[in-house]
Structure 1
């Protein structure tokens, strides 16, 4: 389940792509199926990186010869040279970082002039519902530390020399799931999730695995109103 739509980015042979906070590698693996030169995924959690490597080796490597590297690292101290990447991705990460502007500085530093940045964060409306339903949702260790105003986030990125070129909302069907999860947070954490939450969880798993066209069209239609994530695409000023 990708949040970034790589069709909205101009990917060409030889490009280097970085995913900061790659998790279990969904965007790394998606980028590796595109016509690029190299993809790097970076994450703090070693368990995530191990799962990402396993998925890549099993599902992507047989289909793609694009070199892929997974590294352990911190978004506040990226272990790369200035301007090292043509495309930098950062999805559902900045809401976890207290000093998110320092992370933006690092994303800017490693992006080559003329390169692209794709960023997503939880959308303010659906996120406020989650916070209202459960304190634990955002107070848990490693949880969300802020609700982003998307205009404020866009302005912070543009102050660093980026120009917004595209944007959209995503994952409308996941918003009600997280509202139910927050409503029954204590029971879910104790392994006693009620039937509606368990049924919704199974539905989302089926959707991810099967990607049925009617469900995909339904979510696309609902995204403008209910999309849980807001996704922005930027270009960095200057010539590559």
Structure 2
């Protein structure tokens, strides 16, 4: 099958790049994407199981909601930019809402904890990545935890990327053979910690690597 050339994104500003190569793509692939997302990653599941019974958590960029029911002893609310993915969550009986990760539709400090799994790497500038982390922290109460995952530049699995850049278009092929390009910024070791320090109001409690992702658990230390 003949492949279309990878688009040139150099002329696009970050918001336009995300609109074309993130938001539009997930609107088009939502059902197929959901069908491929079943099992949670071990560290994320462990983090959710450690949360106190009765606590309230926020899943930022919840996708098809695979983590929203991971611990039935806590109440999870999901937010995602994709109306199509939020509709899938609602069909599955989860509490969810359409929302922008740069302007979450929640009160400051309303949640005991939050997760943001494989989302921050879709923001197309460092400023927007810092803003997304700051907004995620805003949603959590002081003393609460935020778990963030992002694709690693140091991939150890089957994917191979040009090491000369951290910014890539990654193809998603549908069952019908259509190919959609998704924007990713691949994070280097220590980059999440550095951006969280720029976001402010938190301290890193734990960090590590799982399934070609860097992750950080940050504890919120102050009100925004």
Compute the TM-score of the two structures, normalised by the length of structure 1.
0.61
Once the two structures are superposed, residues 92-137 of structure 1 have per-residue CA deviations (whole angstroms, 9 ceiling, x without a partner) of 101111211111111111111000000000111228954339x652
SS in 2 for 1:155: helix
SS in 2 for 1:149: coil
- Does residue 166 of the first structure (1) align with residue 206 of the second (2)? yes
From 125, 141, 149, the equivalent of 2:154 is 125
SS in 2 for 1:8: helix
- 1:27, CA displacement in angstroms? 1.3
Residue in structure 2 matched with residue 230 of structure 1 by the alignment: 214
Unaligned segments of structure 2, at least 5 residues:
1-38, 173-178
Compute the TM-score of the two structures, normalised by the length of structure 2.
0.65
Cα distance in 1 between the residues matched to 2:95 and 2:152: 30
From 73, 78, 98, the equivalent of 1:72 is 98
Assess if the C-alpha contact under 8 Å between 1:138 and 1:145 holds in 2.
no
Cα distance in 1 between the residues matched to 2:181 and 2:120: 12
Residue in structure 2 matched with residue 155 of structure 1 by the alignment: 194
From 109, 122, 145, the equivalent of 1:116 is 145
What pairs up with 1:1-240 in 2 under 5 angstroms? 1-3=39-41, 4-8=43-47, 10-31=50-71, 33=72, 35-36=73-74, 38-54=75-91, 56-57=92-93, 68-98=94-124, 99-126=128-155, 130-132=160-162, 136-137=169-170, 143-159=182-198, 160-171=200-211, 228-237=212-221
- 1:233, CA displacement in angstroms? 1.3
- 1:138, CA displacement in angstroms? 6.9
Structure with the higher strand share, 1 or 2: 2
The structure, 1 or 2, with the larger RCO (C-alpha pairs under 8 Å, 6+ apart) is 1
Whose radius of gyration is greater, 1 or 2? Answer: 1
Assess if the C-alpha contact under 8 Å between 1:131 and 1:138 holds in 2.
no
Assess if the C-alpha contact under 8 Å between 1:8 and 1:166 holds in 2.
no
C-alpha spacing 1:142/1:105, structure 2 compared with 1 (3 Å): farther
SS in 1 for 2:53: coil
Unaligned segments of structure 1, at least 5 residues:
58-67, 172-227
Structure with the higher helix share, 1 or 2: 1
- CA-atom RMSD in angstroms: 2.8
| Corresponding residue pairs, total | 168
Once the two structures are superposed, residues 192-213 of structure 1 have per-residue CA deviations (whole angstroms, 9 ceiling, x without a partner) of xxxxxxxxxxxxxxxxxxxxxx
Once the two structures are superposed, residues 129-156 of structure 1 have per-residue CA deviations (whole angstroms, 9 ceiling, x without a partner) of 54339x6527987723422123121122
